[in-house]
Amino acid sequence: MIHSESPTTLAGALRRFPEFLSPRVLLVACAIVVPTRLALGDWSWWDAAIVAGVVAFWPFQEWLIHVFILHYRPVTIFGRTIDFAVPRSHRRHHGDPWNIDILFIPSHVFLYAIPLQVALWVGLAPTLPLAFTGLATFYLLTLHYEWVHYLVHTRYRPNSWLYDRLWRNHRLHHCKNEHYWFGVTMLSGDRLLGTAPALGDVPTSATCRTLGFEDDLGGGVRAA
């Protein structure tokens, strides 16, 4: 398989980022919901509360999705194996972590995630402006998630303390032990849920690439 050339500089990473489908989808989503929210006006303290709530929940969302969806293990019921496309894609990512072509949110996820998110926010928020506050916050954080995850898997190492910390944390998940360090853009979920141990307390896993499956690229479901 031919991989895209991995950027070695921040400028190169920024230039390549919009070439991939997931960032383009999220950039368009942000370009729609952010100006729409600004145009709707009617600001209140509830907007700040919604932003704070989404930001506070975000590290737990990253943790829950990573643990229970991305690292989902197929089950066999009455001889039939139940597996899903998203965890299969994530197993391929673990098998080939420096391949920047396969690390983004799978395109099919947006086909149901975007309509569902819009329906939930518009249906549950008390006003349309507050619904768009939630949507704008969510899509900006999702775009940031894709940027950080992509950056970690390039050949560029961030210079800033914050992004270097995120870089190191996620690389530990891929190269030290896949059972820890599930956060990508916010790490408080790992700290509060017990998956951010001291480095010396964790053995180096032999299954970081395979996640315990015989097929390194995640195409099969046979447990090793």
What is the radius of gyration, based on Cα positions, of the chain? 19
Residue 107 lies in a domain: yes
Compute the CA torsion angle 35, 41, 57, 70 (nearest 10 deg): -30
Contacts (Cβ under 8 Å, ≥6 apart) of 203: 177
Is residue 15 included in any domain, yes or no? yes
pLDDT in tens, the chain (224 residues): 457 789 999 999 999 999 999 999 999 999 999 999 999 999 999 999 999 999 999 999 999 999 999 999 998 888 888 889 999 999 999 999 999 999 999 999 999 999 999 999 999 999 999 999 999 999 999 999 999 999 999 999 999 999 999 999 999 999 999 999 999 999 999 999 999 999 999 999 999 999 988 654 444 444 43
- Residue with tokens 């006006």, as numbered in its chain: 41
What span, in angstroms and rounded, lies between the C-alpha atoms of 156 and 50?
34
208-223 CB burial, b ≥16 within 10 A, e <16 = bbbbebebbbbeebee
CA atoms within 13 A on the CB side of 58: 21
**Is the residue at 220 inside a domain?**
no
> How many domains does the structure of the chain reveal?
1
219 belongs to a structural domain: no
209 occurs within a structural domain: no
Predicted local confidence at residue 215, as pLDDT: 52
Report yes or no on 37 lying in a domain. yes
Calpha distance 54→135 (Å, rounded): 10
Question: Is residue 129 included in any domain, yes or no?
Answer: yes
Residue 77, strand partner residues: 80
**1 within some domain:** no
Cβ(169)–Cβ(176) under 8 Å? no
Note down the domain range covering 61: 10-201
